[in-house]
Amino acid sequence: MESVATNVLEVQKKMRIKKAIIISSLFLLTVVMFFVCWFVGVAKMSVKDCFEALGHRGDVNDINALIIWNTRFPRVIAAVVAGAGLAVAGLIMQTTLGNVMASPSTLGVSNAAVFGANLSIIGFAGGFLSSGADFAKTVNTFNPFAVSLIAFLFSSASVMLVLALCRIKKFSPNTIVLAGIAIGAIWTAGTTMLQIFATDVGLSAAVIWSFGDLGRVTLTQDYIMLGFVGAAIILFFCLSWRFNAMLGGDNIARSVGVNVTALRVTGLLVGSLITAMCVSFLGIIGFVGIICPHVVKKLLGHNHVVSIPITALTGSLLLLFADTIARTIANGIALPVGAVTSLLGAPFFLFMLFTAKERV
């Protein structure tokens, strides 16, 4: 008996050491990637130039300082915040829906955000209700905050609508997924009809908005996202043991005192609002919410006390890496980061499909 107990303790100790090494490595990689993403870009500056520019913040005569602080810093912060938010939203949705393929766009959030942005851009700035084909007027009347606000409102409305419809089926996970797909299709149809009536200028602006791009974000928007995403992750962390209970099924969760319906609604609502916030500012950035939770669960297990903060860290690391590639791969042209995450995520998604064990 003592030998068995000793072996168990040794295994547990090795597991703790392994987890500590993985977590430390991920943290170190994220810090390194933060500075790599900050210092690398279309403007070919040396590492020495970058470090010198760090001390010249506010100096309008130093072009390098303006690039480092005014152009790159907001997008690096956006990568950290949005990556963390989308990754954690994906983790929570996979847990609450009991579906390993669930993602932040499960409830049609991204589709609704695109419709709201198209309505704002085509209808009120660059399309049939305002400036027509006047490009200069379109640029002058285009208000990024208004577009983001309308996109967020439509995303939030989509989430509320899906959850309201699912009350009929008592929030069955399968019902939620199917309702999200149906509502998402309606938003997509609405977007298509809007674009049919758009001018060339309005259509171009709307399509460009939908690209997942960190380059258009401002520090003010970063701070708004940080406050919202930070508060949501803290909330999820406080509910960690409840999410752990849900891993065993609804009946087991109820047996230990978890209000499954309320927890599922909270997880889906807050996770969707995180996605709505990020999409409304940055456009569509896919697959972060699928890749990161699976990687973390593979490496560290399913305990949400660990997986929530580490998934956030992994999401930041992935988006920093993707943004660095987006700004270096095209030789002077910054690609939309959403395209890079899709290129990374699609093969991963296919790998999951072909390696998953089918349930009999």
User: Using one digit for the tens of pLDDT, what is the confidence trace for 322-331?
Assistant: 999 998 887 7
pLDDT at 165: 85
pLDDT at 13: 81
* Residue 163 domain-assigned (yes or no): yes
- Side chain identity at 241, as an amino acid letter? W
In this structure, what token pair is assigned to residue 52? 């010198």
Q: Give the range among 33-42, 168-177, 193-202, 318-327 with minimum mean pLDDT.
A: 168-177
* Residue 46 domain-assigned (yes or no): yes
Mean pLDDT, rounded, of the chain: 86
Q: Give the range among 209-213, 236-240, 280-284 with minimum mean pLDDT.
A: 209-213
Please give the Cα distance from 249 to 226 (Å, whole number).
32
131 falls in which pLDDT band (50, 70, 90)?
Answer: very low
Phi, psi of 279 (to 5 degrees): -65, -40
Which tops the pLDDT comparison, 345 or 279? 279
Among the listed residues 110, 81, 75, the one whose alpha carbon sits nearest the alpha carbon of residue 227: 81
* Residue 266 domain-assigned (yes or no): yes
**pLDDT exceeds cutoff 60 at 88:** yes
* Residue 314 domain-assigned (yes or no): yes
359 falls in which pLDDT band (50, 70, 90)?
Answer: very low
pLDDT at 352: 72
pTM: 0.90
Please give the Cα distance from 27 to 248 (Å, whole number).
30
**pLDDT exceeds cutoff 60 at 130:** no
In this structure, what token pair is assigned to residue 134? 């006047």
**pLDDT exceeds cutoff 90 at 147:** no
Q: Give the range among 99-108, 180-189, 314-323 with minimum mean pLDDT.
A: 99-108
**pLDDT exceeds cutoff 80 at 302:** yes
**pLDDT exceeds cutoff 60 at 135:** no
Helix and strand totals (H; E) in the chain: 17, 0
pLDDT at 136: 47
For range 223-236, the mean pLDDT: 96
pLDDT at 176: 86
* Residue 360 domain-assigned (yes or no): no
* Residue 114 domain-assigned (yes or no): yes
Q: Cα angle at 14 between 9 and 20, to 5 degrees?
A: 125
Please give the Cα distance from 286 to 104 (Å, whole number).
9
CB neighbour burial string for 161-183, b if at least 16 within 10 angstroms, e if fewer: bbbebbeeeebebebbbebbeeb
For residue 86, the domain's CATH number is: 1.10.3470.10
Count how many domains the chain has. 1
Which tops the pLDDT comparison, 124 or 89? 89
Crossing angle of helices 260-282 and 219-238, in 10° steps, is 170
Crossing angle of helices 337-355 and 304-328, in 10° steps, is 130
DSSP-based three-state secondary structure for 284: strand
**pLDDT exceeds cutoff 70 at 221:** yes
pLDDT at 148: 86
pLDDT at 108: 87
Tell me 62's DSSP state. -
143 falls in which pLDDT band (50, 70, 90)?
Answer: low
Show the domain range for 89: 2-355
Which residues make beta-bridge pairs with 284? Answer: 211
pLDDT at 128: 47
**pLDDT exceeds cutoff 80 at 262:** yes
DSSP-based three-state secondary structure for 211: strand
pLDDT at 99: 84
- Side chain identity at 296, as an amino acid letter? V
For range 217-243, the mean pLDDT: 95
Sign of CA dihedral 229, 289, 23, 29: negative
140 falls in which pLDDT band (50, 70, 90)?
Answer: very low
pLDDT at 230: 96
**pLDDT exceeds cutoff 70 at 142:** no
In this structure, what token pair is assigned to residue 336? 């939309």
Tens of pLDDT, residues 98-120: 888 888 878 889 999 999 988 88
Among the listed residues 339, 323, 348, 330, the one whose alpha carbon sits nearest the alpha carbon of residue 81: 323
Which tops the pLDDT comparison, 211 or 115? 115
pLDDT at 335: 85
Phi, psi of 144 (to 5 degrees): -60, -35
For range 324-344, the mean pLDDT: 86
pLDDT at 356: 63
